[in-house]
Structure 1
Amino acid sequence: MKKITVIPTWSFCDEAGNQLDLQLLRLLGAVYRRGKLTRAAEDVGISYRHAWNLLRQGGEFFGVPLVELQRGRGAHLSLLGEKLLWAEQRAIARLGPQLESLGSELNLAIQREQQGALSILRLHASHGFAVELLPKYLEALPLDLQYCSPHESLAALNRGGCDVAGFHLPRGKVGEQVRSTYQGLLKPRKHRVIGFIARTQGLIVAAGNPLGIETITSLDASGVRFVNRQASSGTRSLLDCLLKEAGVSSKQIRGFETEEYTHSAVAAYVAAGMADAGFGVEAAAQKFGLDFIPLAIEDYLLVCHQRSLKEARFQAFLDILRGAPFQEAVRKLPGYSPSRCGDIIDVDTLL
């Protein structure tokens, strides 16, 4: 099956209309990972000569070198080279969910034109690494995946805008505060909860943790720069509860008003040196080579209408969740594990 993937594209153009080869950004990323131009060129699939020419053209375009080459010490990105690389990484992390949602809409439109009426499963949920896996494992069942906050997802379910909604419920005392916010959105007589995954959330800090950040109370230190998640996200709700429990005022946290919209975007922000700490999942920290301080475990749950469970498409969905291939893929994500995956839970039991 042919599918459309929507990705952001950069364009470097000066007043004279001269443009840079976009392969340059891939090369910068490879230099950052490998530390040698020869190995970076191999990663990108180009010759050493071509790699050298790309760096020369980039340096001439911007007026400063993008990579510093030293005999016996390999290759390292210059300050501007790092800024370009991290700007790209942040853009991909920030725009990823919206572009995935757009791609889902386009692919479903194409399938309808090719095959006519489809049995589609509409899932509204917040962006996460485990949710990203679902389209791959639900190939036989067309999935309309739209990313939005937990409360927006539940509201969509109640008005008929989706078939399945995702929401988060932290374990322990902090979970009690979050649980109360779902009252009225989860309806015991109409809804059924589907177990999905558990994930660890905590502080994402620079590699080596140079500031010695240890707990949530470290965030109110004057020198710590923080990057937050948006106010509507489940991760932000968890953070707010942890701060309240620890007696830390958000007004004392430098950068608390700076918001990103995905775990990866938070991690990219820290990796770029624009913040010393963020809050998110361990998988995002590892993706960008950062350290992680675990603070809480939360269950990521799904909910649907009780009547829907009798439908063939829901049985197919549950079979995938309960299957070994999907659960093994979840286990490979740092800080993730299947948790009653595919089990049906009464809302009263949950609340």
Structure 2
Amino acid sequence: MTKELSYTIEEVSQILKVSKLTVYDLVKKGELPVFRVGRQMRLDAKDLENYIENHKMNQRDFSSPAQVVPPRKIEAKDSRNIVISGQDIVLDILGKHIEKYSDYKTLRSYEGSLNSLIAMYNGTCDIVSVHMFDGDSGEYNLPYIKKILVGHPYILINLVLRKAGFYVQKGNPLNISTWDDLSKKHVNIINREKGSGARILLDEQLRIHNISPKVIKGYEHEESNHLSVASAVSTGVADVGVGIEKAAKMVGVDFIPLITERYDLVILKNPENKHLIHIVKEILSSPLFQSEITSLGDYDHSKTGSIIYETF
């Protein structure tokens, strides 16, 4: 283990054989100290070794009577660590503003919408971004949040509006333009992972259009982010994929817009988050933040900062 000077979060999760969200939770609690290299968090190899040694259980641990171990005291600096979950670059800008105008230190998790929301329910995420389409109501996010965050008070705030649709090869040689086109035998798709907003959009559209996933060629082939899906289309690995407009322009594939999705933020309403909610509201409503979003292109901030729903 000492051959490596430091590890990424993903490498730590592989070494410990746990999910990345579990690692982020340990970081948030201060049990795994990290440092930053640009936007990336890294963990010193010696610190990982110390963590493993401190959590080893020997035979005596199992044979001796159970002992009550007091919880580790969380220092003030630990309580200022917050985890923002989601993949859009807008979240990186939000994290930068949060650190600039408060004492919070932001950590990033790159899980999809559904998995991020479940992580929030389990207490391992502080700000979750969601874009989950409900085919029955035609509404984004709230139908899912109401079912998952049962018993938790929360606030839902709009971050941006953005276009979602198809990535297709330059010139759209297969003339793909509708959800029904995905079922054609000569069309090969690249899918997103289960729990991502793009995967939910696809599955809901297939359901309401009465299209079985079994007839979709490439349905089982998954990638974990918008850029990877767009790149698969660009290189000819697939003919079409579902994602957002920004990634299409970054990779250089054509984009067929199909829906305007509401990309929202969820924060639990509790005493610990009262100041955080205030900070996020102020940032989202500020001209400076909105001008940065405008400069990126392909985002609509007309509803940015609007409270979509709030429990009382």
User: What's the TM-score, normalizing by structure 1?
Assistant: 0.62
Amino acid in structure 1 at the alignment position of 2:35? L
What CA distance in whole angstroms lies between the structure 2 residues aligned with 1:139 and 1:109? 19
Q: Is the helix fraction higher in 1 or 2?
A: 1
Aligned 8 A contact 1:203 1:293 in 2: yes
How far does the alpha carbon of each residue in 1:144-200 deviate from its partner, in whole angstroms, 9 at most, with x for none? 221223233223323322222222244885635965443332348711212211111
Instruction: Decide whether the 8 Å contact of 1:150 with 1:165 is kept in 2.
Output: yes
Report whether the alignment pairs 1:136 with 2:99. no
* 1:306 aligns to 2:237 (yes or no): no
Pairwise CA distance, 1:286: 0.7
Q: Secondary structure at the match of 1:139?
A: helix
Does the 8 A contact of 1:169 with 1:178 survive in 2? yes
Structure 1 distance, partners of 2:179, 2:283, is 37
For residue 228 of structure 1, report the CA deviation from its aligned partner.
Answer: 0.4
Could you tell me which of 202, 210, 220 is aligned with 1:247?
210
The aligned residue for residue 106 of structure 1 is 35
How far off is 1:259 after superposition? 0.3
Code of the aligned partner of 2:278: Q
Which residue of the partner structure matches residue 164 of structure 1? 127
> Structure 2 CA distance, aligned partners of 1:123 and 1:145?
6
Q: Paired residue for 1:123?
A: 83
Give TM-score scaled by structure 2 length: 0.68
Give deviations 1:65-88, integer Å, cap 9, x for gaps. Answer: xxxxxxxxxxxxxxxxxxxxxxxx
| Greater C-alpha Rg | 1
Cα distance in 2 for partners of 1:174, 1:228 equals 24
The aligned amino acid for 2:212 is: S
- Taking a change above 3 Å as real, the CA distance of residues 210 and 156 of structure 1, as seen in their structure-2 partners, is same
Native 8 Å contact 2:164 2:260 kept in 1: yes
Q: Hey, what's the Cα distance between the residues in 2 that align with 1:125 and 1:176?
A: 21
Amino acid at match of 1:190: P
Consecutive unaligned residues of structure 2, counting only runs of 5 or more, are 1-5, 11-19, 28-32, 44-74
- The gaps in structure 1 that reach 5 residues or longer are 9-96
Q: Distance in 1 between matches of 2:276 and 2:109?
A: 18
Asked if residue 315 in structure 1 is aligned to residue 278 in structure 2, the reply is: yes
Aligned-partner residue type, residue 239 of structure 2: D
CA distance in 2, matches of 1:297, 1:227: 21
Of 169, 172, 178 in structure 2, the residue corresponding to residue 215 of structure 1 is 178
Distance (whole Å) between structure 1 residues aligned to residue 120 and residue 9 of structure 2: 29
More divergent stretch after superposition (173-182 vs 155-164): 173-182
Question: How many residues of Structure 1 are paired with residues of Structure 2 in the alignment?
Answer: 252
Q: Give the Cα–Cα distance (whole angstroms) in 2 for the partners of residues 292 and 226 of structure 1.
A: 14
Q: Is the 8 A contact 1:225 1:275 kept in 2?
A: yes
Mapped partners of 1:284, 1:5: distance in 2: 28
Q: Judge conservation of contact 2:84–2:91 (CA < 8 Å) in 1.
A: no
Matched, 1:268 2:231: yes
Equivalent pairs: percent with the same residue? 31
The structure-2 alpha-carbon separation of the partners of 1:125 and 1:169, relative to structure 1 and needing over 3 Å to count, comes to same
Q: How does 1:17-36 map to 2 (within 5 A)?
A: none
Residue 282 of structure 1: how far off its partner (Å): 0.6
Give 3-state SS (helix, strand or coil) of 1:330's partner: helix
Match of 1:292 in 2: 255
After superposition, the Cα gap between the structure-2 partners of 1:119 and 1:177, relative to the gap in structure 1 and judged at 3 Å, is: closer
Task: State whether residues 187 and 347 of structure 1, in contact with CA within 8 Å, keep that contact through their aligned partners in structure 2.
Answer: no
Q: Note closer, same or farther for the CA distance 1:157–1:231 as it changes in structure 2 (3 Å cut).
A: closer
Q: 1: distance between equivalents of 2:299 and 2:85?
A: 17
**Offset at 1:324?**
1.6
Residue 62 of structure 1 is matched in structure 2 by none
Residues 198-245 of structure 1: CA distance to partner in whole angstroms, max 9, x if unpaired?
111100001111111121111112211110001121110111111222
AA partner of residue 154 (structure 1): L
- Separation in structure 2 between the aligned mates of residue 326 and residue 223 of structure 1, nearest angstrom: 44
Structure 1 residues 6 and 188 mapped into 2: Cα distance closer, same or farther (>3 Å)? Answer: closer
Cα separation, partners in 2 of 1:132 and 1:177, compared to 1, 3 Å: closer
| Equivalent residues of 1:228, 1:258 under 8 A apart | yes
Among residues 166, 176, 190, which one is paired with 1:227 in the alignment? 190
Secondary structure class of the residue paired with 1:338: coil
Distance 1:337 1:268 in 2: 24
